[in-house]
Amino acid sequence: MTKPRILVARAIFPDIVDRLRQHFEVEANPEDVIWSPAELAARLADKDGAFTTGSQRIDADLLTAAPRLKIVANMAVGYNNFDVDAMTAAGVQGTNTPDVLTETTADFGFALLMATARRMTESEHYLRAGQWTKWSYDMFAGSDIHGSTLGIIGMGRIGQGIAKRGAHGFGMKVVYHNRSRLAANLEAECKATYVSKEELLATADHVMLVVPYSAASHHTIGAAELAQMKPSATLINIARGGIVDDAALAVALRERRIAAAGLDVFEGEPSVHPDLLTVPNVVLTPHIASATVPTRRAMADLAADNLIAFFEGRGALTPVNTPAPEAARAR
């Protein structure tokens, strides 16, 4: 029996590619070349499945160019690189990697919050540049984490993980805003209070963004929202580029309308708005919130398991859409 053909669109752990080879005819990308949309479409023209990361756009044009494609397994919990409606209409299954990265990503959100509020990278650059010649009473004085108010926008699994760290570990008062309110037991576990976005922005000492990207969440934080925040507040974005208007944020940071920001994701990444590179009061990291070795392995394993389960007829393990059976492409 011929094996289904799959494309592994980015370099991943070699042993996981070997595991995929036991089930599939695999075209891999060990050199980690970034293919253009046209190159990706050409490589998918004869493939039954794809293993992607957040950097490959799966849209109607690509689906037309890849008539055999039946499943795309994203190695990420976020899947805003998928046009889910187009995939569903074309009968193509999409999957993501929830749960396995929740705690690691929540750890990172908290680390970025602490580094930002306590001005860690700014002070390290100062030290490395040989500028530290004497101690002074207000040198790199930042803002407190313990006992402060943490405002979380987007209260899914990762948001809840951050809330628990803040409330239980640091005695923070946690307020949150979400499309829907959490069940009472989850609010109690997180010690979190539901508030409007306006109240959150006006009262939080630290605003943490963990909301998925969609047209509706585009520029959740722009100039108007930044103006509602306290001048002493910090803003942390571990969600997706495009949730924050990066140009407006650079202005707010430069003019000290808010105290500081910590950003792991950017509009148009890996490009970063040039003004963010020159303001001192921002901590910048290259989209690494889920980047620990065990977690990245777990994400890659789950994406691989989704492909294997799907082609074994067991159904996708973590689907993001439900193509109608009559629309599904023949296996």
Please give the torsion angle defined by the CA atoms of residues 227, 233, 238 and 239, in that order, rounded to the nearest 10 degrees.
-30
Per-residue binding letters, 242-281, with ligand DGY (x by CB under 6 A): ----------------------------------------
What DSSP line would sit under 126-186, residue for residue? Answer: HHHTT---S--TTTT-----TTSEEEEE--SHHHHHHHHIIIIIH--EEEEE-SSPPPHHH
Is residue 190 a contact point for ligand DGY (CB under 6 A)? no
Tell me the two tokens of residue 93.
């299954």
**By C-beta, is 229 or 303 nearer to ligand DGY?**
303
Q: Name the maximum alpha-carbon separation found in the chain.
A: 74
**Please, are residues 291 and 109 in contact by the beta-carbon 8 Å criterion?**
no
**By C-beta, is 109 or 142 nearer to ligand DGY?**
109
Is residue 290 a contact point for ligand DGY (CB under 6 A)? yes
* Residue 280, amino acid: P
For ligand DGY (CB under 6 A), the number of binding residues is 6
Which of 4, 54, 142, 161 is in the footprint of ligand DGY by CB under 6 A?
54
Strands 260-263 and 93-95: unpaired
Q: What's the closest the beta carbon of residue 327 comes to ligand DGY, in angstroms?
A: 26
Q: Which residue is nearest to ligand DGY (CB)?
A: 78
Rg (CA), the chain: 22
Q: Which of residues 64-83 bind ligand DGY (CB under 6 A)?
A: 76-78
**By C-beta, is 77 or 145 nearer to ligand DGY?**
77
**Please, are residues 58 and 83 in contact by the beta-carbon 8 Å criterion?**
yes
Strand partners, 221: 244
Q: What's the closest the beta carbon of residue 123 comes to ligand DGY, in angstroms?
A: 28
**By C-beta, is 122 or 264 nearer to ligand DGY?**
264
Per-residue binding letters, 85-114, with ligand DGY (x by CB under 6 A): ----------------x-------------
Please list the active-site residues: 240, 269, 287
Residue tagged 């946690």 (tokens): 174
Alpha carbon distance 192, 201 (integer Å): 15
**By C-beta, is 76 or 117 nearer to ligand DGY?**
76
Task: Please give the residue ranges that form the binding site for ligand DGY (CB under 6 A).
Answer: 54, 76-78, 101, 290
